[in-house]
C-alpha cells in the first residue's frame, strides 16, 4: 500500500494571538483538507495541532509521510522528545518543556503509524505547502 502523504502548516496573527492550522491528507488521488483555529495561541502550537489532527483523522495504522515547514515540529519529534521524556518533560536547562501537552498528544497520535518526517522550506513554491499555508492563514484570520 502506498504511503499517506500529509502536508501541514500553522499560522498565527500575532504570536500569541488568533491562530489557525491546516492539513492536506493525500492517499493516491484521494485528498482531504482539515482546518481549525483557536482564538489565543502560538504559531508553534498551531504547527503541532495540524500534524496531530491529521494523524488522528487516519482510521487505521498507515505508512505516513509528513511534510512540514516547521523545524520545531520535525526536530522536536525526531530529536528532542526522547530526551524530554527521559528527563520528566524538562529541558536541558531543567525548565518545563513548552507545549508538553501537545508533544504527548503527538506521540500518542503517531504511535500506530510508521512515519517519515520531512522538512520542507516554507514559502518556496512547494505547491502543497503553499496550499496549507493559505488555509491556515485564512483560519487564523477567521479566528481574529
pLDDT per residue over 86-118, tens digit each? 999 999 999 999 999 999 999 999 999 999 999
Domains and CATH numbers, the chain: 4-143 (3.30.420.10)
Catalytic residue among 28, 88, 123, 125: 123
Catalytic residue among 5, 38, 67, 69: 69
Active site residue 133: yes
What is the value of pTM for the model shown? 0.97
Active site residue 69: yes
**What is the rounded CA–CA span in Å between residue 76 and residue 3?**
22
Active site residue 130: no
Active site residue 88: no
For residue 1, pLDDT over 90 is answered with no
Q: Which residue reads 515540529 in cell numbers? A: 73
Cis omega (within 30 of 0) for bond into 16: yes
- What is residue 1's DSSP assignment? -
pLDDT per residue over 55-89, tens digit each? 999 999 999 999 999 999 999 999 999 999 999 99
Catalytic residue among 9, 19, 76, 105: 9
Q: What is the pLDDT of residue 2?
A: 82
Catalytic residue among 10, 19, 36, 76: 10
Catalytic residue among 5, 47, 67, 105: 47
**What is the rounded CA–CA span in Å between residue 118 and residue 128?**
13
Active site residue 101: no
Catalytic residue among 19, 36, 38, 133: 133
Q: What is the pLDDT of residue 36?
A: 98
Amino acid at each position: 500500500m502506498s504511503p499517506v502523504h500529509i502536508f501541514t502548516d500553522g499560522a498565527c496573527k500575532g504570536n500569541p494571538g488568533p491562530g489557525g492550522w491546516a492539513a492536506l491528507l493525500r492517499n493516491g488521488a484521494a485528498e482531504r483538507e482539515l482546518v481549525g483555529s483557536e482564538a489565543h495561541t502560538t504559531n508553534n502550537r498551531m504547527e503541532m495541532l495540524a500534524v496531530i489532527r491529521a494523524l488522528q483523522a487516519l482510521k487505521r495504522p498507515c505508512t505516513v509521510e509528513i511534510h512540514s515547514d516547521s523545524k520545531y515540529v520535525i526536530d522536536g519529534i525526531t530529536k528532542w522528545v526522547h530526551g524530554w521524556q527521559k528527563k520528566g518533560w524538562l529541558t536541558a536547562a531543567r525548565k518545563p518543556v513548552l507545549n508538553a501537552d501537545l508533544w504527548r498528544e503527538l506521540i500518542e497520535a503517531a504511535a500506530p503509524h510508521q512515519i517519515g518526517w520531512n522538512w520542507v522550506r516554507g514559502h518556496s513554491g512547494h505547491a502543497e505547502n503553499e496550499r496549507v499555508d493559505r488555509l491556515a492563514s485564512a483560519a487564523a484570520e477567521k479566528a481574529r
